């Protein structure tokens, strides 16, 4: 099964992200816009892995303290087609990203080794669409208290892909 670890966002933060998506739509950008109930911040992407219990055991060893998460206001893009909203990289967020990755490594669980670059995907651009390197669109401010992080599974039903929570760590 396809696994990743993530932080789910609260309503305030989701609202800011929805209005950023509305602005991107209003400047005419076409693409696959993420649904509001699937907004999340990925901490580590594991991908196909068939032993969720081993992952749960590893994540349970992460020492977690609640912390504040803030949108940075920045909108950027990866690879020319993923358009994202940034988060402020605080010591606490960096430490959580590192702790998750360290426990996965210690348990021999493979994950995407790309550097942790905290972002929330807003949309994936349609083919042929382009956005300026520094788009005029920004995201309003919002902050939330993070009380846990999640192990998620990407699943599919007749309506397409969705994300299912399979483990919760923290408070």
- Binding residues for ligand 2AM, rule: CB under 6 A, are 4, 42, 45, 82, 112, 121, 154
Interatomic CA distance for residues 58 and 103, integer angstroms: 6
Beta partners for 38?
none
To the nearest whole angstrom, how small is the minimum distance from the Cβ of residue 101 to ligand 2AM? 12
The CA-atom distances, in angstroms, between 100 and each of 4, 38, 54, 62, 93 are 11, 21, 13, 6, 11
- Residue closer to ligand 2AM, measured from CB, 47 or 65: 47
- Residue closer to ligand 2AM, measured from CB, 56 or 154: 154
- Residue closer to ligand 2AM, measured from CB, 81 or 169: 81
- Residue closer to ligand 2AM, measured from CB, 4 or 149: 4
- Residue closer to ligand 2AM, measured from CB, 26 or 113: 113
- In this structure, are residues 31 and 129 in contact, taking their beta carbons and an 8 Å threshold? yes
To the nearest whole angstrom, how small is the minimum distance from the Cβ of residue 112 to ligand 2AM? 4
Q: How far apart are the first and last CA of the chain?
A: 26
To the nearest whole angstrom, how small is the minimum distance from the Cβ of residue 16 to ligand 2AM? 17
Interatomic CA distance for residues 6 and 165, integer angstroms: 10
* Phi (first) and psi of residue 50, to 5 degrees: -105, 15
To the nearest whole angstrom, how small is the minimum distance from the Cβ of residue 49 to ligand 2AM? 13
To the nearest whole angstrom, how small is the minimum distance from the Cβ of residue 154 to ligand 2AM? 6
């Amino acid at each position: 099964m396809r696994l990743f670890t993530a932080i789910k966002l609260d309503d305030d933060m989701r609202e800011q992200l929805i209005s950023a998506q509305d602005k991107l739509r209003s400047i005419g950008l076409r693409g696959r816009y993420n649904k509001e109930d699937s907004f999340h911040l990925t901490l580590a992407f594991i991908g196909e892995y068939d032993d969720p219990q081993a992952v749960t055991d590893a994540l349970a060893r992460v020492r977690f303290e609640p912390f504040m998460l803030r949108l940075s206001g920045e909108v950027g893009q990866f690879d020319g087609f993923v358009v994202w909203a940034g988060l402020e990289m605080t010591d606490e967020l960096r430490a959580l990203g590192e702790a998750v990755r360290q426990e996965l490594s210690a348990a021999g669980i493979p994950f995407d080794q790309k550097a942790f670059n905290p972002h929330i995907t807003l949309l994936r651009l349609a083919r042929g669409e382009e956005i300026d390197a520094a788009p005029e669109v920004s995201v309003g401010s919002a902050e939330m208290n993070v009380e846990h992080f999640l192990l998620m599974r990407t699943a599919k039903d007749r309506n397409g892909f969705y994300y299912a929570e399979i483990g919760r760590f923290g408070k």
